[in-house]
Amino acid sequence: MALTLTDLTAPQGFERLVLAQDPQAGLRALICLHSTTLGPAAGGCRMWAYADDDAAIHDVTRLARGMTYKNAMADLGLGGGKAVIIGDARTDKTPAMMRAFGEAVDALGGTYWTAEDVGISPADMAHAAEATRFAVGLSGASGDPSPWTAEGVFRCLRVGARHAFGTDDLTGRRVLVQGLGHVGLSLAEKLASAGARLMVTDIHQAALDDAATRLGATVCAPDAVFDQQMDILAPCALGGVLTRDTATALTATLVCGAANNQLADDGVADILAARGITYLPDYVVNAGGIISVASEIHGKPDAWRLDRLTAIAGRVDQMLTRARDTDQLPSAVADQMVHDMLTTRRAA
Ligand code: NAD
C-alpha cells in the first residue's frame, strides 16, 4: 500500500498529529486530533497551498482546537479535529488523492470524522467516502450545512440584540452583512424578512445587485464597511476582519456573524468591550453547520438539529447573562464554559 501515516510530535495539550502521505496519489496531508474527551474528533478537511509544512501544522492545530470548543458548546458528543491537504485545490486535487485521504481517515479507526472545508466540495468528499465511512457532509445525506449555519447565526443575533438593545425586534435595526456567500445571503434574507434595515457588501457585484433588488438592501463597498453607521455587524466573509484599527472605528453595538476567527488577535475583544460593543464568539454562533454534520454522524433526524440550534441560542443567552453579572468578556465566559465541560468529563 502506498499510503503511510507518521505520528508527529503533537503540541502540548493536543492528542495526536499525523502526517499522511501517498506519493502515487499526490497526497500530503496533516490530520490533527485536539481532543476526544467528549467523543470522536470531528472537523472539516481544508485544501490549501501552504508555503511549507510548518504553516500547515500551524493552521491544522489552530483549527482542530477551535473545533473542540465549537463541538463542546454545541453539545454534539464530539471532540475536535481537523485535516489539511497541502496543495492547490484548483490544480492539484484528483479523485485518487481524495480516496487516499479517505484511506488515511479510515486508518484512524473512527477517532476522526471528516467533512468539507475550504477547497473541498461534497463531490470531493464522496471520493473520500469510497475509502471510509468516517467522511460526512455528503450530498443526499445531511446536505449543505450553510442554511443551518445561517439559521443558528440569526437566532443568536436575536438573543444578542435582546441583551444589547433590550429587544430582539429587528424592525428598522441597521444590520450590515459582510459577505453574501452561502451563509451570508441566507442570513441577509432572514434579516430582511425580520424588518432589518439591511446593508450588504461583497467583492462580487452580482451578489450585491441581487441583494439590492430582491431584499431592498443598501450596498456598501468592501473597503468602506467600517465607515458605515450601523447597529449590528454580521461578518460572513473572511477571518481577521476585526483588527485593533477596525474595532476602534466600528459603529455597531453588536457583532454576530458566521466567519471563523473574526478577531485578528485576543486584544481586539478588550477594545470592543471597552467601546461597549458586544461581540458574540464566532465558534459559539456559527455551529449550525457542524450541528448538521453531526446529525449525519449520529444518524439523527431534523428535530435533533433544530433542538441543538435552539440550544446554542440558549447558551448565548446564558453566556451574556453570566458575562454581565460577573463583568467578564462573553468570549472569556464561553471559553470557561468549554473548559468546565472538558474538566467535568475528564473527572467522570
Ligand atoms: P462563501 O465562500 O460561500 O462566501 C464568502 C463570501 O464572502 C463570498 O460571497 C465572497 O465573495 C465574499 N467575500 C470575500 N472576501 C470579501 C471581502 N473582502 N469583503 C466582502 N465580501 C467578501 O463562504 P460561506 O460558506 O458563506 O462561509 C462564510 C464564512 O463563514 C467563512 O468564514 C466560513 O469559514 C464561515 N463558516 C461557514 C460555515 C458554513 O456552514 N458554510 C460554517 C461555519 C463557519
Task: Tell me the average confidence (pLDDT) per consecutive run of 10 residues in the chain, 348 residues long.
Answer: 93 96 98 97 95 95 94 95 96 97 98 92 93 90 86 98 98 98 95 98 95 97 97 94 97 96 92 96 95 93 92 96 95 93 88
Q: What's residue 347's pLDDT?
A: 86
Q: What's residue 140's pLDDT?
A: 79
The rounded Å distance from CA 182 to ligand 1 centre is 7
The rounded Å distance from CA 121 to ligand 1 centre is 14
Q: What's residue 1's pLDDT?
A: 62
175 C-beta closer than 6 A to ligand 1: no
Catalytic residues: 82
Q: What's residue 122's pLDDT?
A: 87
Q: What's residue 197's pLDDT?
A: 98
Q: How many angstroms separate the Cα of 294 from the Cα of each of 92, 108, 118, 297?
A: 29, 18, 18, 5
The runs of H, that is alpha helices, within 74-181 are 95-107, 122-129, 146-165
Q: What's residue 348's pLDDT?
A: 82
List the chain domain ranges. 4-64+80-129, 146-287+315-339
Which among 13, 27, 24 has a CA at the least distance from the CA of 56? 27
Q: What's residue 167's pLDDT?
A: 98
63 C-beta closer than 6 A to ligand 1: no
The rounded Å distance from CA 237 to ligand 1 centre is 4
36 C-beta closer than 6 A to ligand 1: no
Q: What's residue 112's pLDDT?
A: 98
Q: Which residue has the cell 450545512?
A: 145
> What is the fold of 4-64+80-129?
Rossmann fold (3.40.50)
Tell me which of 120, 125, 148, 203 to substitute to probe ligand 1's pocket, judged by most ligand atoms within 8 Å of the beta carbon. Answer: 203
Q: What's residue 17's pLDDT?
A: 98
CA distance between the termini of the chain: 40
Binding-site residue set for NAD(+): 179-184
Helix (H) or strand (E) holding 302: helix 302-326
Burial 300-324 (b: 16+ CB within 10 A, else e): eeeeebeebbeebbebbeebbebbe
149 C-beta closer than 6 A to ligand 1: yes
What global pTM score does this model have? 0.91
d(CA 226, CA 230): 9
4-64+80-129 and 146-287+315-339 in the same fold: yes
d(CA 57, CA 226): 33
Our CA dihedral for 204, 207, 212, 218, rounded to 10 degrees, sits at: -50
CATH superfamily of 146-287+315-339: NAD(P)-binding Rossmann-like Domain (3.40.50.720)
Partners of 242 in beta bridges: 263
